[in-house]
A = this chain, B = another copy of it.
Amino acid sequence: MTEQMQRIVLARRPEGEPVAEDFRLEEAALPDPADGEVLVKVHYMSLDPYMRGRMDDAKSYATPVPVGGTMEGGAVGEVVASKSDAFAPGDYAFGMFGWASHGCLPARELRKLDPAHGPLTAALGVLGMPGFTGWFGLNEYGKPKNGETLVVAAATGPVGSMVGQLAKAQGLRVVGVAGSPEKCALATGRFGFDACLDHHAYADGKEMRAALAEACPDGIDIYFENVGGKVLEGVLPLLNVGGRIPVCGMISWYNAGALGADAGGAKDNLPKLWRTILVNRLHVHGFIIADHFDRYPEFLSEVGPKVASGEIGIQEDIAEGLENAPEAFMGMLKGRNFGKQIVKIA
């Protein structure tokens, strides 16, 4: 009998918030690696907000997951078979294996991990794509300066916590926004933020603005954008002249379909934003981290030691079992995770 693997496929495209029926757990024959390929048994897979975008077929920066295709994503695991000189069974590797128990990819698409350098899961969060996103966006486009004020939402997630901790170390006042009192306590505690606001306490952008104004007495110089919605609405009027907005995501709007005119309740309008950009001479930069992997080694050599020394703190939320990945994913989109969302496969 052939050995089997499990994977989660996109059963159909979601309308608005994904539901359980949009996903399907399938069995498949375990592939044999071809020449140059490596078969990996996955231990941990990553769940990230960008995956919501892959479920739609709207034009975006990446190809959508086809209906019936395996959900995309990064994961880490152990090599079980290799037809490449670069990997041997027992090696640990990161790769885009998708939501699956096993992955088979060309060796050149994998990154070897040294388990002595910290937990395997770090490659999915703090030292992986999310941490790199925070580091790159903050330094390249945020251009932080000692004494300035930075605001970042999803403050306890792997992007927000990286941004906040790096900015704090550079002498900025750092104000987070997060989704519960416990998350806010984590932000101001382990992550060292100066303040953190629970967005559930504020009904709309106007209330958000009032709370942010109090937390940011000198205005806001950098808004690291990963959520959109009422946080953005609240931040815009408080931005200082010369403010910077690196835009890496907008999770609050991801479920709004094609982000049409009825998106999310945030019906703030273009002319108002445009005027703010002009009057306050703002610099807004959209970026997709996949464009910038040439900077990854620099990130790793700078931030790796800080993670190892504990200077940069981590918080992970680990769900158990591939079959529970959809639920964990849907929960994450609602902010139910507490730190970087990971699924333990085996």
Contact = CB atoms under 8 A, between A and B. Distances in A.
Nearest to A62: B279
Contacts of A261: 267, 269, 272
A58 to B, nearest CB: 9
A232 B274 CA distance: 10
A60 B279 contact: yes
B272 A269 contact: no
Contact of A280 (B225, B264, B283, B286): B286
B286 A247 contact: no
Nearest to A263: B271
A266 interface: yes
Can you tell how many copies of this chain the complex includes?
A: 2
A283 B247 CA distance: 10
A329 to B, nearest CB: 20
Contact of A250 (B232, B241, B271, B286): B271
A265 to B, nearest CB: 10
A287 B284 CA distance: 12
Nearest to A278: B286
Interface string A241-270: 100000111100100100111011011111
Contact of A266 (B259, B271, B277, B278): B271
B269 A277 contact: no
Nearest to A250: B274
Interface of A: 59-61, 225, 228, 232, 241, 247-250, 253, 256, 259-261, 263-264, 266-288, 291
Given A266-B270, A277-B284, 19 more contacts: A59-B279, A61-B278, A228-B271, A248-B278, A250-B271, A253-B274, A259-B271, A259-B275, A261-B272, A263-B271, A268-B269, A269-B270, A270-B273, A273-B273, A279-B286, A279-B288, A283-B286, A284-B284, A284-B285
